[in-house]
Structure 1
Amino acid sequence: MTLKRFLEKGQKGYDLTRATHRVFLSEDEESLANHIKALDSCFHGLDREKCRILAFDYAKANNINTPPNWTKDGMAGLDWFSGFMQRNKLSIRKPEATSLARQTAFNKVTVATFFDKLSDIMSRFKFAPQDIYNLDETGITTVQVSGKVVSTTGKKQVGSTSSRERGELITMCCAISASGSHIPPFYIFLRVFMKQDFMNGCAPGAKGVADRTGYMNTELFAYEYLPFFISNVRCSKDKPVLLVLDNHCSHVSLQAINVCRNSGIHLLTLPPHTSHKLQPLDRCVFGNGDGNGRLDEI
């Protein structure tokens, strides 16, 4: 019997021998793992070396016998760390830079206030699922990201034909209802003048505008996008809709509020710096579900 088959069968004798050579008891190791997970949830995750140092300090503080190489290096061994990661379902991940404002904004009080307002407006107007919309902008590129292809081993450069080597970033504004339906996308091109050629191949009913900045601003949202939204949703004061969106300055301007008030659109903004958790489009549609609010291709 090979060692691999012996391990796969999970022999009790081997399991008992392995357990006797563990540095920490199961409850001690679980406590250490929970502490590392708690630090990660607070945006203060530890890297590989700091975790090993923490394990050695934890053993030393609790008078737990450790292998000689732990004392020599001042940290836990790599073999122990690898097993510790597997036993506690941990992995090495690359963190995203997160501002202090975003860390502190998502809390129980803020989220509860938002859902209280949502509950209040739903009880007053009794919106149906098809009358509740979520709106957000994202960035897309004009050049699609190529997938992997079969090529010769050892070849230094592998190419794929595309319209251009580097694409340009375009802002796309989308609105999706709670029933699953959506209105056509709205594009903002980084141009001074709009040309109809920019819309070749776009979804039916989509609209595009040109702007020097290439981003959504007060004038575009109030006088270009909202009329486009109203014409597709066909809302009015007698048939109001609920629009949930972030509190970007272009979304909550006086001009936008006046247009919404005259058209039967009730605005509900998400709390600041919480879109990575509360924005449905960020969580479920844009990107790969990681909440980064950006698409890699059209």
Structure 2
Amino acid sequence: MVRRNYTEDDVAEAILDTTDRGLSQNEAAQKRGVPQSTLSGRLSGQASRNERIQAHQRIPKSQEETLIRWVLRQESLGYAPSHSQLRACVEAILKQQGDNKPLGKHWTTRFVKRHLELSTKLGKRQEAARFDGFTPKAVNWYFDIRENEYGWIKPENTVNVDEGGIMVGFGLDSLVIGSSDPKKKAMLKGVQSRTWTSFIEAVTATGRALKPGIIFKGKELQKQWFLNEFELIADWHYITSPNGWTDNHIALEWLKDVYLPQTEPRDASDARLIILDGHGSHAQDEWMATCFLNNVYCCYLPAHCSHGLQPLDNGIFNVIKGAYRKELQKLASLTDSAPVDKVHFIRAYAKAREAGMGKDIILSGWRFTGNWPINRHKALTHPEIQPDKEKVPERFKTPSPPQLHSDDTPKTSRQVRDLAKHRSRPTRRKYSKIAKGLEALEMKVAVQNARITGLEEQMAQVRRGKKRKAVPNPNRRFMTLAETLTAGEALPDSKKAEIEVDVDEKDESVIEVGVRFEASDQRDRIYSLRGMAKGDQVMLEQLKIDYEAPTAKVYQDFASIAAQQDPEVIVLAESAGQRRTDLPSWVPDWSSILLPPAGYDGEEPIFGAGLKKDYSKPIVAGDALVVSGVPIDSIMRVGRHAMVGDSTVL
């Protein structure tokens, strides 16, 4: 008999045939298709091949079975894990067991091969094009998963999470009462700071709101943002990011530090469910591994459907943002339009959150979207749902150009040329022109980047001889206000946020340094100063590198920044040589070499004028610099020896 593939069930039946049914080993082996040597070995107590291998495997059989169930469930949800995500889950299990040895290169392949219920297949990522927005097709797809795969999870363990954002200080125009004269404009007093701050909110299907995660734009949390009066919200969580939005790191920290501790189920065996959008940070390897280890399932909303299917987007966020704007208007009336800082934001958002995070409003969002109680009809009758598009027969359908998503947008000239392949001749010519333009821009950017790198290295050399004391960066995890208030000095002062510098010698005036620098492009005399302003956030934010701007504008902008930032800085230095004609009189001509006259010691600029005490802040109005001062004398031209034209000394 030709031997066929057999399973452990076949071996078990063959053993029963021999021990209970009176068949010989040879007869039982032939009947079940099992080698006689295998059957004989099992009858004598020999372990199966899989059992022998199991002793040398990295994780026990029970954990492998749990992993298999998780993989199959993720596939049924439309989010089958990749090899890297499976590997991340197993490595997380091993790390918990104290095993830090990495998995073998082919571990995932062999794991799939030894489990017949698994197979590697080509996965197609769910993109926005899969559904035509918020349509019945998308709703039915979502509720098929919601009912069949997650209906058994308790409502108290079901959470909707989403990230929202507020432009701090940005208010809306509104109707006011004023004069009947149509020529008179009614102006609303309000703050116009446009700093972006994000928040991560989560609510359960039973109406409970989790503590929020606040994401400020910046490098590090600052102690002065938090006041003792905020003790009532001391359990909020705070973190920073460069742009005020979440990223992979912040999403993972929120999952570990905020979500998991606050949603611990009463029964440790109960599963938890997160309903969320398909943001890339919610499907990274570490996110998936952390969810797997904590028995947390993720139900991803269809693309472009969150406004109809997400509880937070249906009432809760609208109430919060509306209440926040009202609080901001109250703040503007009290602070005389002063910029909204982090303290004011926390105060206003705390009051707005009280209005929007009531239990009734939260439950209303869950009911309105049909997420709890689960009601597909609620979502299908949502006022913003769109009808499914009728499918046009292929022979009548005009071919549509390929979809370009944000990740597919061409960023280089080579990618543009690749897009032109297999197109018509006129289209290829247009793509070629675009590619040539990109190539010219790429060359220009490369030259400018090289120039900037060189200037930064020059400035590094200037400052390299000074003694520095580095301060380590703080931990980037979410921090609660309670930790901040008790720690005292746990958060760095703004002046020590990056590096504390102990300088032996007196710093030179940045303007003098700029004048002495040689540069082929005269704008570099200003742009090179960025390398010396590493700890000066105002200078770094306002002094932007733009080689499209005229030299005169670059000089005037920098002089304006310097004058308004520090009234003691000497900006009225005058050069002894030929001066540019396109500069206001108060703007130094950094393109000229500052030559010292006879007897000049080089310690101060020629005829530099400046304030020793900050009596008033200078005002820049167009080309004019408005300062306070008293005329005491005048200077007249008397010769040609490094003297200057007539001017007034203040």
The Cα of 1:181 is off from its aligned counterpart by 0.7
- Counting only pairs closer than 5 Å after superposition, residues 198-213 of structure 1 correspond to structure 2 as 198-200=225-227, 201=230, 203-213=233-243
1:175 maps to what in 2? 202
Q: Give secondary structure in 2 for the equivalent of 1:210.
A: strand
| Alpha carbons 2:169, 2:192 under 8 Å: kept | yes
2:290 maps to what in 1? 259
Q: Decide which of 200, 220, 232 is 1:193's aligned counterpart.
A: 220
1:214 maps to what in 2? 244
2:136 maps to what in 1? 108
The Cα of 1:214 is off from its aligned counterpart by 1.5
Gap runs ≥5 in structure 1:
1-99
Task: Describe the superposition over 1:4-43 as per-residue Cα deviations: whole angstroms up to 9, x where unpaired.
Answer: xxxxxxxxxxxxxxxxxxxxxxxxxxxxxxxxxxxxxxxx
Gap runs ≥5 in structure 2:
1-127, 329-348, 350-650
CA RMSD of aligned residues (A): 3.2
Counterpart-to-counterpart distance in 1, 2:177 and 2:187: 7
The Cα of 1:255 is off from its aligned counterpart by 1.0
2:274 maps to what in 1? 243
Counterpart-to-counterpart distance in 1, 2:316 and 2:249: 26
Counterpart-to-counterpart distance in 2, 1:107 and 1:133: 24
1:138 aligns with 2:168: no
Q: Give secondary structure in 2 for the equivalent of 1:172.
A: strand
**Identity percentage over the alignment?**
21
Q: Give secondary structure in 1 for the equivalent of 2:280.
A: coil
Task: Describe the superposition over 1:267-290 as per-residue Cα deviations: whole angstroms up to 9, x where unpaired.
Answer: 11101121121111112211259x
| Count of residue correspondences | 191
The Cα of 1:134 is off from its aligned counterpart by 0.4
| Alpha carbons 2:277, 2:306 under 8 Å: kept | yes
Counterpart-to-counterpart distance in 1, 2:296 and 2:225: 30
Going from structure 1 to structure 2, the CA distance change for 1:151 and 1:194 (only over 3 Å counts) comes to same
Counterpart-to-counterpart distance in 1, 2:243 and 2:170: 22
Q: Decide which of 218, 223, 228 is 2:258's aligned counterpart.
A: 228
| Alpha carbons 2:275, 2:299 under 8 Å: kept | yes
The Cα of 1:225 is off from its aligned counterpart by 4.0
1:275 maps to what in 2? 306
- Match of 2:155, as an amino acid? P
Counterpart-to-counterpart distance in 2, 1:197 and 1:267: 37
The Cα of 1:150 is off from its aligned counterpart by 7.3
The ranges of structure 1 where at least 4 consecutive aligned residues each deviate by more than 3 angstroms after the TM superposition are 100-103, 144-152, 154-160, 196-204
Q: Which has the higher contact order (CA 8 A, sep 6+)?
A: 1
Counterpart-to-counterpart distance in 2, 1:237 and 1:136: 25
Counterpart-to-counterpart distance in 2, 1:204 and 1:223: 18
1:165 maps to what in 2? 192
Larger-Rg structure: 2
- Match of 1:106, as an amino acid? F
Counterpart-to-counterpart distance in 2, 1:133 and 1:204: 22
| Alpha carbons 1:105, 1:274 under 8 Å: kept | yes
Scaled by the length of structure 2, what TM-score is found? Answer: 0.27
- Counting only pairs closer than 5 Å after superposition, residues 44-59 of structure 1 correspond to structure 2 as none
1:5 maps to what in 2? none
Q: Give secondary structure in 1 for the equivalent of 2:298.
A: strand
Scaled by the length of structure 1, what TM-score is found? Answer: 0.55
The Cα of 1:108 is off from its aligned counterpart by 2.6
Going from structure 1 to structure 2, the CA distance change for 1:141 and 1:119 (only over 3 Å counts) comes to same
The Cα of 1:120 is off from its aligned counterpart by 2.0
Going from structure 1 to structure 2, the CA distance change for 1:257 and 1:121 (only over 3 Å counts) comes to same
Task: Describe the superposition over 1:202-249 as per-residue Cα deviations: whole angstroms up to 9, x where unpaired.
Answer: 844211101112211111111344421111222485232211000100
- Match of 2:281, as an amino acid? S
- Match of 1:247, as an amino acid? G
The Cα of 1:144 is off from its aligned counterpart by 6.7
| Alpha carbons 1:194, 1:210 under 8 Å: kept | yes
1:122 maps to what in 2? 150
